[in-house]
Amino acid sequence: MARSKQHTRIHNAHTPLIVKLSSNIVGLSFLPAPTSTRVRSCALGSSRAAPRAMAPRRRRAWPAAAAVFVAAVVAAGFAAEAADMVQERLTVGMTIVAGAASTGAVCLDGSPPAYHLHRGSGAGARSWLLQFEGGGWCNDVRSCAERAGTRRGSTRLMTKVEIFSGILSNRPSMNPDFYNWNRVKLRYCDGGSFSGDSEYRNGSSVLYFRGQRIWDAIITDLLQRGLAKAENVLLSGCSAGGLATFFHCDSLKKRLGGATTVKCLSDAGFFLDLSDISGNNNMRKFFSSLVSLQGAQKNLNKDCQNSTDCPYLCFFPQYALPDIRTPYFILNSAYDVYQFHHIFVPPSSDPRGQWSRCKMYPGACSTSQIATLQGLRSAMLTSLKQIQGKPEAGMFINSCFAHCQSELQDTWFARDSPMIHDKKIAEVIGDWYFERGAAKEIDCAYPCDSTCHNLIPSDQGGISGAQSGHMKRPLMREDLKVIQYQF
């Protein structure tokens, strides 16, 4: 198929329909963004100057509880559609990888790895979509030991049936380009984005960091089930699973050979090397300790490692991406809520809680807070400039408060899904994979986009916490009836 000329289209701002904020933000300073994707410093502390601390602002009373979240009620016009989706939802059983333990491919607790496979049909019978599950990380013995006793570290504790929706749906009306492919969800139980290869022993206690072996074992099993004869493959993932795609994209292409079209998609996995608002770079410290503990360095991109004295920095996508040769698509919010809450404005940077209401309720952010958040968007867009000129690359960078948008039906492809230039996420990714036209879309700055579904992760733990779910969020509390959900 002839390749269409591609270019990046930046969504121009239009009149905001939901959030009413002062538009007079001219002259407000943003955080400086990096000008190069190459590593310049290995420092674990501050990498850039942080914005000045804001003066305390008067706060209205607001319901606050660590596990209480507020969600908008779906409009009556969409209730029937949602009910149909529930009634016809696809559930897929778990497959345990037999014999994986003999190769050392085990979860944190020693249980075997697993995946969920729904077979393709018709024209999609020889096409495969492999989706890495997400769910945070662990970077020290204590956090990994705790994780080993949860569904994030043991297949014994996982749900044995998964709902396939969004990019995993089998309905053409909900997943027009990939509905009839073989679709696989790779369960996540190693705490290191499928990258580690080590173990920790303390007497009779053992923690297994075998993410790389888990990946190898699952692929070996799937090759025997038809993946070896694949004509088309899309490797994708959400959050920590989106990060995993950067580690395995080129190796999968090499393993499948030149006859197979392989492309990769990262959804909410473009975690930035970024200082928080107080000037500290906690992610460098976190990823450095993770790579060391889990023995991940030997599995990181070799070309990236040759360009830096700090191999752990190749755990950051912005440094690994320049050396990845397989076509890539980046799906991310410019205001990714996980990065907003835990990297850009973590609790340690806001001891007085001045950002608490803004985090939980975007419509409550002050004008100065919105201006500061533009620094997060600026850093994201600057880091992605490296692929804007590559015709084989694609991107959908919207201005919604969200984290993971490909597995959720209402954000992937539904009647009211988020759009940029009247194109939904599924449409742009389909255009990119099949080379049907332009596939680089960048949204205007918040709060211009009225198509957004603003989503808050149901888990509000720290960096090591798992992203376990999402809820649709209102932007204007007084305009929508709200319900409180307890998790």
Cα Rg of the chain, angstroms: 21
Residue 357: count other Cβ atoms within 10 Å of its Cβ: 19
Sheet holding 328-333, edge to edge: 8-10, 440-442, 394-398, 328-333, 261-267, 232-238, 127-132, 182-186, 114-118, 90-96, 161-164
Task: Give backbone dihedrals phi and psi of 429, rounded to 5 degrees, phi first.
Answer: -65, -40
Residue 162 near residue 94 (C-beta atoms within 8 A):
yes
Selecting among 221, 267, 273, 336, the annotated active-site residue is 336
Catalytic residue flag (residue 239)? yes
Catalytic residue flag (residue 177)? no
Nearest to 205 by CA among 162, 142, 158, 264: 142
Task: Give dist(CA 248, CA 451) in Å, integer.
Answer: 33
Selecting among 248, 342, 403, 470, the annotated active-site residue is 403
Looking at residue 205, its amino acid is S
Looking at residue 195, its amino acid is S
Task: Give dist(CA 453, CA 348) in Å, integer.
Answer: 28
Q: 447-456: string of b/e by CB count within 10 Å (b at 16+)?
A: bbbebbbbbb
Token representation of residue 335 = 């205001």
Selecting among 127, 154, 239, 288, the annotated active-site residue is 239
Tell me the pairing of strands 127-132 and 182-186.
parallel
Residue 25: count other Cβ atoms within 10 Å of its Cβ: 14
Catalytic residue flag (residue 4)? no
CA distances for 185 relative to 180, 219, 363, angstroms: 15, 12, 35
CA distances for 152 relative to 66, 192, 270, 309, angstroms: 21, 11, 21, 32
Indicate which residues carry an active-site annotation. Answer: 239, 336, 403
